[in-house]
Amino acid sequence: QSALTQPRSVSGSPGQSVTISCTGTSSDVGGYNYVSWYQQHPGKAPKLMIYDVSQRPSGVPDRFSGSKSGNTASLTISGLQAEDEADYYCCSFAGRYTFVIFGGGTKLTVL
Partner 1 sequence: QVQLQESGPGLVKPSETLSLTCTVSGGSISGNYWSWIRQPPGKGLEWIGYFYYSGSTNYNPSLKSRVSMSVDTSKSQFSLKLTSVTAADTAVYYCAGWTSSWFDPWGQGTLVTVSS
Instruction: Give the residues lining the site for partner 1 (CB under 8 A).
Output: 3, 32, 34, 36, 38, 44-48, 51-52, 57, 89, 91, 93, 97-105
Least CB distance to partner 1 at residue 14 (A): 27
Q: How far is CA 58 from the centre of its chain?
A: 17
Least CB distance to partner 1 at residue 13 (A): 26
CB nearer to partner 1: pick between 28 and 84: 28
